[in-house]
Amino acid sequence: MTRTTINELSNHVGQEVQLDGWVYNSRSGGKLGFLMLRDGTGIAQCVLSKSDVGDDAFALFGRLTQESSVTVTGTVSADERAPGGYEIHAQSLSVTQMAEEYPISPKEHGTAFLMDHRHLWLRSRRQHAIMLVRHEIIKACRDFFDSNGFILMDTPIITPNAVEGTTTLFGLNYFDRFVYLTQSGQLYSEAAAAAFRKVYCFGPTFRAEKSKTRRHLTEFWMVEPEMAYCDLEENIHWAEEMVAFMVGRVLESRREQLDILERDTAPLEGLKTPFPRLSYTEAVDVLKQADVDFEWGGDFGGGDETIISEKYDQPLVVHRFPAAIKAFYMKLDADDERLALGMDILAPEGYGEIIGGGQREDDYALLLKRLKEANLPEDKYQWYLDLRRYGSVPHSGFGMGIERAVAWICGLPHVRETIPFPRMLNRVEP
């Protein structure tokens, strides 16, 4: 007899197999028992008849509780009506552990309750589907960069440097010094780009976000490519191609999961590059036309982004922001020194910013000036300034927050469901 998993059942039709898993659901109708078995790879229905499994096993079936761990043996048949398309006609049933009363019952639970039970909630069909899409998105990003000549450069999590402003830093005692958890691997990726030309880092990043929104986590994962000899235009091109590749891959490989999530895939299928573009200044005009009280020079909030991108059924590239609201490292626009050569990509359907990036300041004196204006400690950035002392070149890059991308592609209202164990202002457990 073959021990197999539910996702492999199609290869075993007509054969006797062993499945190990957990009780998702069970109901009995007289001499027949119906067991929905969940094994981590899928859910399949096992039908038990008293005459096949015997009195003891049938009595055991009757006592099964939700999420008990069990082993079933039986014959696989193809059945269109069965969930997943296959059914097991059981020959035997045994129990590894009889579960205590499971806190997550099929009835509706509030979000706080489910979040408190995240370690168990992950087993549900919907959370399972989201995590498979997340897995695919991460794999797609890696495949995209790996197949386009980018080298993976892991950047440190412990760092003396602020990247994205000083207000969202998590501080940490490091022996007799004070350091931070990284907000972005970018500065290190810039060093790596001068060594390897095209690189990417992919890791957890941390921001002490004090606001409670649908889009902010305090710990999130970011994929950040960085390219030497690359200007803003080419940077936008890489970002568009990565997004299109990622969405294409999810549509190709994770349709079943998108179905479970009841995601309307039409907007994803309609994606095409190049994406529409709007300068920051044009975007401000859009807000003004929509009667939003917004002054040129301000930063867009989530609501503003929704209004700006509303007219488009594609991701929207917004570029050339006021330098004053952007990080110190952004290169100023030679045509208008008030502007920095930054770019954001706003996902359609109101999901807002998923990508932020731009061209970096490559001039030593200008970078030093910006560093001072931002009140950053010069001595801690000497290594970064070195990159402008020794063979400085135009270079660019961007970062995509994985959780924002997952929320958009899955069609979720909040990022809290996009990561196995979310960290937010009021949540560090479980």
Q: Which of 38, 118, 216, 416 binds ligand 4AD (CB under 6 A)?
A: 216
CA-closest candidate to residue 225, choices 142, 168, 165: 142
Our finding on whether 401 is near Mg ion (CB under 5 A) is: no
Size of the site for Mg ion (CB under 5 A): 1
Q: Identify which of residues 348 and 397 has a Cβ nearer to ligand 4AD in the complex.
A: 397
**339-376 b/e with 16+ CB inside 10 Å = b?**
bbbbbbbbbbbebbbbbbbbbbbbeeeebbebbeeeeb
Our finding on whether 356 is near Mg ion (CB under 5 A) is: yes
Q: Identify which of residues 93 and 227 has a Cβ nearer to ligand 4AD in the complex.
A: 227
By DSSP bridging, strand 43-49 and strand 158-159 are: unpaired
Q: What minimum distance in Å lies between the beta carbon of 324 and Mg ion?
A: 15
Q: What is the 3-state secondary structure (H, E, C) of 186-254?
A: HHHHHHHHHHHCEEEEEEEEECCCCCCCCCCCCEEEEEEEEEECCCHHHHHHHHHHHHHHHHHHHHHHC
Q: Identify which of residues 315 and 397 has a Cβ nearer to ligand 4AD in the complex.
A: 397
Report CA-CA distances (Å) from 7 to 39, 83, 111.
9, 12, 30
Q: Which of 186, 257, 314, 359 binds ligand 4AD (CB under 6 A)?
A: 186
| Site track 248-277 with Mg ion (rule: CB under 5 A), x = hit | ------------------------------
Please identify, among the stretches 91-99, 145-153, 192-200, 349-357, the one whose residues bind ligand 4AD according to the rule CB under 6 A.
349-357
Q: What minimum distance in Å lies between the beta carbon of 300 and Mg ion?
A: 10
CA-closest candidate to residue 164, choices 210, 108, 206: 206
Our finding on whether 220 is near ligand 4AD (CB under 6 A) is: yes
The position carrying tokens 């990565």 is: 242
Please give the backbone phi and psi of residue 91, each rounded to the nearest 5 degrees, phi first.
-110, -30
354 contact, one of ligand 4AD, Mg ion, none, CB 5-8 Å limit per kind: ligand 4AD
Q: Which of 398, 407, 408, 422 binds ligand 4AD (CB under 6 A)?
A: 398
Q: Identify which of residues 26 and 161 has a Cβ nearer to ligand 4AD in the complex.
A: 161
Our finding on whether 87 is near ligand 4AD (CB under 6 A) is: no
Our finding on whether 224 is near ligand 4AD (CB under 6 A) is: yes
Q: Identify which of residues 133 and 217 has a Cβ nearer to ligand 4AD in the complex.
A: 217
Query: What span, in angstroms and rounded, lies between the C-alpha atoms of 335 and 85?
Result: 61
Please identify, among the stretches 80-88, 134-142, 282-290, 399-407, the one whose residues bind ligand 4AD according to the rule CB under 6 A.
399-407
Our finding on whether 240 is near ligand 4AD (CB under 6 A) is: no
Q: Which two tokens stand for residue 87?
A: 């059914």
Our finding on whether 399 is near Mg ion (CB under 5 A) is: no
Q: What minimum distance in Å lies between the beta carbon of 178 and ligand 4AD?
A: 22
Q: What minimum distance in Å lies between the beta carbon of 383 and Mg ion?
A: 24
CA-closest candidate to residue 328, choices 228, 183, 221: 183
Q: Which of 207, 254, 263, 319 binds ligand 4AD (CB under 6 A)?
A: 207
Q: What minimum distance in Å lies between the beta carbon of 354 and ligand 4AD?
A: 5
Query: What span, in angstroms and rounded, lies between the C-alpha atoms of 354 and 309?
Result: 12
Q: Which residues bind Mg ion (CB under 5 A)?
A: 356
Q: Which residues bind ligand 4AD (CB under 6 A)?
A: 163-164, 184, 186, 207, 209, 216-217, 220, 222, 224, 353-357, 397-401, 403-404, 415
